[in-house]
Amino acid sequence: MKKFILLITAIVIAVSLAGCQSKEFPPEVSIEESTSRSAETITPIDTEDVEDTKIPNSQIYDYMDMEISWTVNPYIVENFIHENSLIVEAKILSTGKALFLYNDKTYYERPQTPVNIEISNVLYGKSAKENLTIYASGGDVLLKDVFEFNERFYPEKKEGKFGDEGLKGLSEKELSTKYMSYASQFDYTVSRGSEYLLILGYDEDLDVYTITAGGYGIFEKSTPNKRLELRQSLMSAFNEEVRDSLSAVDATSFTEYGNVLTGIDFDLSVLP
């Protein structure tokens, strides 16, 4: 299974503490192609309108794998919490088809997958709704939408397999039925029916909530032993600051949630 990195070999991205991914305020995102639906047409999605979608491998044209570097330490939870964060306990109701969000002010350079959630508890921030559509980084988008997005935002992108010239070599049927799959090693796919603690960032320009920092903003219920095993497997990656913070925090403030990527407990004491 071949993997390709579009445009440049390594994409160095700055992490936006607002948790959104835009050209003006680049966060944990990357620099890629995709869809043609404008933010003006994007509204919160009702439960019945969102269908779980799994694209068959036979319909994947290719895979876009992106390398990301961080300007803040992703192992420290409070680095991703800010005044307009929304932190909730929620159940995943359904997911929809990935799309790119944009308007005349800004746009996301990676596709976003709509995720419909049912909020059971708000730990930080305010939400007037029990059901909310949020967006998770990554997903599969139609090639024709990749082509249209390139023409709108990257008119200079012509060469190579993923440029306009390469996509023009495909038939109309291929453009309408094949998908580009976007992912990074920090993305995480939530499961329908499962409950998570989510750190969300609000994008005022697009009026949407996105999961902050990919999998680093997602926590799942798990046993202390499971979380400990995951942390220990990554201990060499934790810097001294992280190791000290893990040992110094009062364990009574920990929740039953651990980060899906690191196993680090979500600690209530980090809330502003």
| Residues of the chain where predicted confidence (pLDDT) is lower than 70 | 1-53, 67, 155-166, 168, 247-253
> What pTM was computed for the model?
0.77
pLDDT value at position 109?
A: 83
34-46 CB burial, b ≥16 within 10 A, e <16 = bbbbebeebeebe
On whether the CB atoms of residues 62 and 161 are closer than 8 A, the answer is yes
What's the CA gap between 110 and 32, in Å, rounded? Answer: 6
**Which tokens hold the place of 223?**
């046993």
What's the CA gap between 87 and 122, in Å, rounded? Answer: 6
Side-chain-facing half-sphere of 250: CA atoms under 13 Å: 5
CB atoms within 10 A of CB 101: 27
Selection from 272, 106, 120 nearest residue 198 by Cα: 120
pLDDT value at position 1?
A: 40
Q: Could you report the per-residue pLDDT of 104-138, keeping only the tens digit for each?
A: 888 888 889 999 999 999 999 988 788 999 999 99
pLDDT value at position 166?
A: 63
pLDDT value at position 106?
A: 86
pLDDT value at position 156?
A: 67
pLDDT value at position 241?
A: 79
On whether the CB atoms of residues 134 and 198 are closer than 8 A, the answer is yes
pLDDT value at position 41?
A: 36
Q: Could you report the per-residue pLDDT of 26-46, keeping only the tens digit for each?
A: 333 332 333 333 333 343 334
